[in-house]
Structure 1
Amino acid sequence: MTQLTITLPDEVAQQAEAYARETGRSLENILETYLENVVKARTKLPPLSPRVQALLGALQLPEGMTYEQAKDEYLTNKYLK
């Protein structure tokens, strides 16, 4: 096992310790489980095909517009106008 030291803001550390007490788990166990899940989620993603990689960054949205807003606008124009 590797020992790791982390620095957290006091409020975050206090809330994490309180959560660990409430759930009957150690802070070490909570962090270990969280990091395992992060790594698993990252490794589950399939690699992007070269075609998809070539498209990354191709769409430039106007400043302040989210992807959801752009999608809604596109679908509204396509189906309701």
Structure 2
Amino acid sequence: MSTLTLTLDDDLLAQVEAYAQRTGTDLSALFANAVRPIVASERERRPLSPEVTALLGCITLPPDFDYKDYLGDALSERERI
């Protein structure tokens, strides 16, 4: 285990300490849980395969396209079948 010193303004530190107390964790665990997903997502980024790269830009969607709405509609339609 290593020791790390962070500098936070007093207000933010008070908020973080209060959050840690409410959630029953300590500041070290809170910090580790906050940065772990950031590091993991960076590590998991891999170059796209040539097949996927070839598909980039092959369709154009309207600026207001919401894929979640579209997916919800498609799933609802599938359930009706």
Q: Please indicate the TM-score interval, normalised by the length of the shorter structure.
A: 0.5 to 0.7
Q: Decide whether aligned partners of structure 1 residues 59 and 28 sit closer, same or farther in structure 2, where only a CA change above 3 A counts.
A: farther
Q: Deviations over 1:10-34 (max 9, x none)?
A: 58x62x3322002332233202222
2 and 58 in structure 1: CA distance in 2 versus 1, 3 angstrom threshold: farther
Once superposed, what is the RMSD of the aligned Cα atoms?
3.6
- What amino acid is the match of 1:3? T
The alignment status of 1:34 with 2:34, answered yes or no, reads yes
Query: Normalising by structure 1, what TM-score?
Result: 0.52
Counterpart of 1:52 in structure 2 is 52
Aligned residues: 74
The residue aligned with 2:62 is 62
Provide structure 1 residue ranges, at least 5 long, that are not aligned to the other structure: none
Structure 2: how far apart are the matches of 1:39 and 1:49?
A: 22
CA deviation after TM superposition for structure 1 residue 65, in Å: 1.3
Q: Moved runs in structure 1, 4+ residues, more than 6 A?
A: none
TM-score normalised according to structure 2 size:
0.52
